Amino acid sequence: MRAVLLAAAGLVLVAADPAPPLPVVAKAESLPDWNAKFRPTDGWVGADGAYSAPVSDRRTLWLFSDTWVGSVRDGKRVGVAMVNNTVGIQDGRGPDAKVSFVVKQTTAGKPTAILTPPDGRGWFWINAGVHVNGPLVLFLPRLEKTTDPGAFGFRQVDQWLGVVENPAADPTVWKVTYSKLPFAEFTPGRTLSFGAAVLREGNHVYVYGYEEKPGKPFPVRRMVLARAPADKLADFGAWRFYSGGEWKADAKTIAPLADGLATEYSVSYLPGLKQYVAVYTENGLGDRIVGRFAASPVGPWSEPVLFYRCPEMTRNKKVFSYAAKAHPHLGGGNELVISYCVNAFELAPVIEDASLYWPTFVRVRLE
């Protein structure tokens, strides 16, 4: 990364690198072998979210939000219950990697979420996670139900940080310290949320989020960026917020960097192209997985490049694709391995059609 650092009025100014030439997609293909690793027929039988957080050279944690627990028989989910978050464990890399799934149970033997709000209100989904000098730091949106019917009967009410002291242990016995992000905002006119993506770069963790305002047909959702020293990620006083080339202490000064974003995405470095790439479902919902490129973690970000069109929405008008993100530990060079999810606008089709509601993987090669 090239950057010119200037000192002015006690602030660090960052001159962003000029935009490099845009890569083009040489090939995009589905990955049935990786899909198969995420299609068990008993226990954990489908989830969305699907963030990945490497914790060693050979071990990666997969972080899921709403999860079905039960069985798949004759193409249908049977005897299922839903819990709000679960964890997968990937051992190894490449085609021989093994993936297992962890579902916590109550003392009565019922499935339950691994992570729960300390005050008992609502539930946590799991956004991005990063392994920093021992602990695992997780970004946790808290949701509550609304009266809206169908797949969107919820709203986010706040944002939390969960610091897992013992990430190498079984997730059912994790020791987690929770703290609420003081600068997130959830009002009728504006949402400001952090942890949609994270990037470890040197001694800092870049925390990407989004600012959302009402709009039609999609909310107006734009990228925002904060960062903190890796060993002070849970110290909110150490956070700085990016605005106009400056890292500022006041979150209210944060300035959007790109539009058309989703509530979940990824930002990673592609060594083969020497560029950073943000991967997301365009506008958060639809069949278009796109990416923006930049020469540094702060941008400026290119216009979107179409990576892949999810075929499921063409075949079935009652389903939708979302939650696209890249998994750098599966790719490298000039290749991205991307997952996305497919859901239905009503609950019943997801139970009746077990082809829905799994992480689905594609490989995109760029040149």
- pLDDT, one tens digit per residue, over 126-184 is 999 999 989 999 999 999 988 877 667 789 999 999 999 999 999 999 999 999 999 99
Strands 59-64 and 86-91, how do they pair? antiparallel
Residue 123 has pLDDT above 70, yes or no: yes
Contact 177, 155 (CB under 8 A): no
State pLDDT tens for residues 281-298: 999 999 999 999 999 999
Q: Which of 13-27, 184-198, 298-312, 349-363 has the lowest mean pLDDT?
A: 13-27
The closest alpha carbon to 300, from 275, 269, 272, 336, belongs to: 275
What distance separates the 2 farthest-apart alpha carbons in the chain? 67
Beta bridge partners of 205: 200, 228
Give mean pLDDT, residues 197-211.
Answer: 97
**Superfamily for the 19-366 domain:** Glycosyl hydrolase domain; family 43 (2.115.10.20)
Q: What is the pLDDT of residue 218?
A: 87
Residue 97 has pLDDT above 80, yes or no: yes
The Cα–Cα gap between 324 and 220 comes to 18
The pTM assigned to this predicted structure is: 0.93
Taking CA 46 as the corner, what is the angle to CA 43 and CA 47, rounded to the nearest 5 degrees? Answer: 120
In the chain, where the domains are located: 19-366
State pLDDT tens for residues 36-68: 999 999 999 999 999 999 999 999 999 999 999
Q: What is the pLDDT of residue 180?
A: 97
Residue 14 has pLDDT above 60, yes or no: no
pLDDT band at 6 (very low <50, low <70, confident <90, very high): very low
Residue 10 has pLDDT above 60, yes or no: no
Give mean pLDDT, residues 212-228.
Answer: 95
Look over the chain and give the mean of its residue pLDDT values, rounded to a whole number.
93
pLDDT band at 13 (very low <50, low <70, confident <90, very high): very low
Q: What is the pLDDT of residue 8?
A: 39
Which phi-psi region, left, alpha or beta, contains residue 273 (left: φ > 0; alpha: ψ -120 to 50)?
alpha
The Cα–Cα gap between 3 and 15 comes to 6
Share of the chain above pLDDT 90, in %: 89
